[in-house]
Chain A
Amino acid sequence: MKRIVNARGKDVFITFVRYFLAIVFVMFFIFPYYWTITISLKTRAQALDPSTFIFKPTLENYIYVFTAWNLGKYLFNSIIVSISTVFLSIILSLPAAYSLARFNFKGKETVAFWMLSLRMLPAMCVVIPLYVIFSLVNLLDTHIVLIIAYLTFNVPFSVWLLRDFISSIPLEIEEAALIDGCSRFSALMRVMLPLLSPGLAVTAIFCFIQSWNEFALALFLTGTEAKTLPPALTFFMTSVGVKWGELAAISSIVTIPVIIFAWLTQKYLIRGLTFGAVRGAH
């Protein structure tokens, strides 16, 4: 504290500017979310009137959304699909990440690059073939179809992230285990995994958030049985008009779990966001 007070005038001014700008930025980024919550607590008429800043909050939108629109089912679907796909992705990506990090073989960089490039596959491109294929095997509108479809972006992403985390663990630890007589695989399980748990956490968190928020694939590949939360938002965009109150309520339900989740795990989130970028760039 003393530093700021005693510093030269110029420094105080810059610091003040920094804080002021920071507040402005934060308000800009948070405001829409604050607005979502307030709209969800307003009645229908109030939601449409932008001038009502002070009002009596009501839970009618939330109740309506749960009773009349079967939201419990969509919430359940979202949870099942997100958790399952995260599990599956990690199980599938771990060996690949390990081999890309530890082994040296011909074409390694090509494979790595190819996996990274899968990230650029737009959902709309993938949805057409997936739709046809799954309709032929009659698996549309089930949980399985989404779990598999989400592998499209979760596996490359996990491989990429896990590869970085594995590389950051020193080789010596593994070599010590190998010298002690472990096989490659058991070295992986007994020695690496515990050390890797923060990395696994980061990957799991990211995959979960991405899967939870995913919209395009869920919209097209599911009907009413396995629909997850984000496409349920569109039910309220009728051609008559949008039911803003209910929509805001669902938006809150879709986003609040993720926000709480992210707040609890933010260190991991930030680590994951930046780790991949900072390392990947170097």
Chain B
Amino acid sequence: MYQKEKPLLFLLPSLTVLVLVVIFPTVFLYYSSFFRWGLGAWHDRAFVGLYNYYFVLTDRFFYNSLIITLAYMFMCVTLEFLFGLVIAMTIAKIRVRAVVISLLLIPMIIAPAAAGLIWSLMLNYTYGVIPYILKKLIGFSPAFLGPDYAFLSTVLVDVWMWTPFVALVILAGMEALPREPFEAAQLDGASSWQIFQHITIPLLKPLLIFIILLRSIDALKTFDTIYVLTGGGPGQATEVLSLRIFKTGFFWGGYEMGKASVIAIFLILLSTLLVSTFINIFRRLIRV
């Protein structure tokens, strides 16, 4: 019965759109990376071959952004994962859980740009409420958006925004787990901690890996919050790759869009690499 149908026909509308909106621009990105051109001056372009690639690969700022992006991703995902786990465990069994969960939705739903802005006011050394409280409580406060701590501040904002998401997903996963292993373990007299260690975590593993993958991909993409919070940071302290693309091509630069395209290509490659690695780990885990 199914063979008569044409599955491709169903797929066609969305595939066409995606090809136009995604494939075509990506190909264009590759194409434009071989030129020296500026914003609004595409007709003025000049072919430069691989020069842009040479430039980016020998640009210290590119490697700086690369390191910062990777560091950002690792820190954010680790912290969100740990805190998310803790929060999920904490609220798993309390009765007002529904209210708590609906309140915890808020950070994820706020526009990241708006969230970044309000954090930039809260952390501002002169006007902000957090340094003010710290100064009152312990006498001094670090300059959150200064060169030493700006990076940690961006991690803080990301953690604030997405930990509820991680917690929620872990909570859902916990609820979907089968009851029998837990009951069996309780009958055997295992303590809560042992149950947690040997039953909950292993059963949740696929979900946890999945959520780590999801967050990692999103962390690499981050632009809104960092742009609005530090604009790249004092010096280059918080310049992740997305921001580097922005600064190269869009801000004050005249003819650097070719180089921006190269950096964009590298960002896409990085994401692809990350996803494939994770999928491999995932598959290996499932088999075991």
Contact = CB atoms under 8 A, between A and B. Distances in A.
Nearest to B222: A122
A238 B216 CA distance: 33
B115 A230 contact: no
Contact of A36 (B17, B114, B176, B260): B114
B2 interface: yes
Interface in B43-65: none
A193 to B, nearest CB: 14
Q: Chain B at the A interface: mostly helix, strand, loop or mixed?
A: helix
Contact of B114 (A95, A125, A251, A277): A251
Interface in B221-239: 221, 223-224, 227-228
Contacts of B119: 32
Contacts of A66: none
Nearest to A185: B10
Interface string B150-180: 0000000000100111001101110010000
B267 A125 contact: yes
Contact of A220 (B173, B250, B275, B279): B250
A270 B264 contact: no
B103 A26 contact: yes
Contacts of A229: 111
A221 B22 CA distance: 16
Contacts of B146: none
Contacts of A96: 10-11, 13-15
Nearest to A49: B127
A274 B169 contact: yes
Nearest to A151: B21
Given A18-B91, A278-B173, A93 B113 contact: no
Given A51-B132, A120-B217, A125-B264, A278 B100 contact: no
A266 B172 contact: no
Given A124-B246, A126-B25, A105 B7 contact: yes
A139 interface: no
Interface stretch (B74-82, B182-190, B194-202, B206-214): B206-214
A258 interface: yes
A26 to B, nearest CB: 5
B221 A123 contact: yes
A96 B14 CA distance: 6
How many interface residues does chain B have, given as a range? Answer: 35 or more
Contact of B220 (A105, A122, A156, A250): A122
A148 interface: yes
B91 A22 contact: yes
Given A50-B132, A99-B11, A280-B210, A26 B2 contact: no
Contact of B21 (A49, A119, A148, A251): A148
B117 A33 contact: no
B112 A128 contact: no
B67 interface: no
A29 B275 CA distance: 29
B94 A213 contact: no
A129 B26 contact: yes
Nearest to B260: A128
Given A119-B217, A129-B28, A213 B5 contact: no
A117 B127 contact: no
A149 B21 CA distance: 7
Given A21-B90, A230-B113, A280-B210, A132 B160 contact: no
Nearest to A130: B25
A159 B14 contact: yes
A30 B176 CA distance: 28
Contacts of B117: 233, 237, 242, 247, 251
B118 interface: yes
Contacts of B224: 215-216, 230
Contact of B10 (A98, A216, A251): A98
A129 to B, nearest CB: 3
B2 A259 contact: no
A29 B18 contact: no
B206 to A, nearest CB: 4
Contacts of A155: 14, 17-18, 21
A244 B14 contact: no
Contacts of B163: 29
Contacts of B168: 270, 273-274
Given A51-B132, A96-B10, A259-B109, A18 B94 contact: yes
Contacts of B104: 25-26, 29
Residue of A25, A178, A234, A248 ringed by the most chain B CB atoms within 10 A: A25
Given A18-B91, A278-B169, A121 B22 contact: yes
Interface of B: 1-2, 5, 7-8, 10-15, 17-18, 21-22, 24-26, 28-29, 32, 39-40, 42, 87, 90-91, 93-94, 96, 100-107, 109-115, 117-122, 126-129, 131-133, 160, 163-165, 168-169, 171-173, 176, 206-207, 209-211, 214, 217, 220-221, 223-224, 227-228, 241-242, 245-246, 249-250, 257, 260-261, 264-265, 267-268, 271-272, 274-275, 279
18 contacts: A22-B94, A99-B10, A99-B11, A119-B217, A120-B220, A121-B268, A135-B42, A151-B17, A155-B21, A216-B242, A229-B111, A234-B113, A254-B111, A255-B110, A259-B106, A266-B101, A277-B172, A278-B169
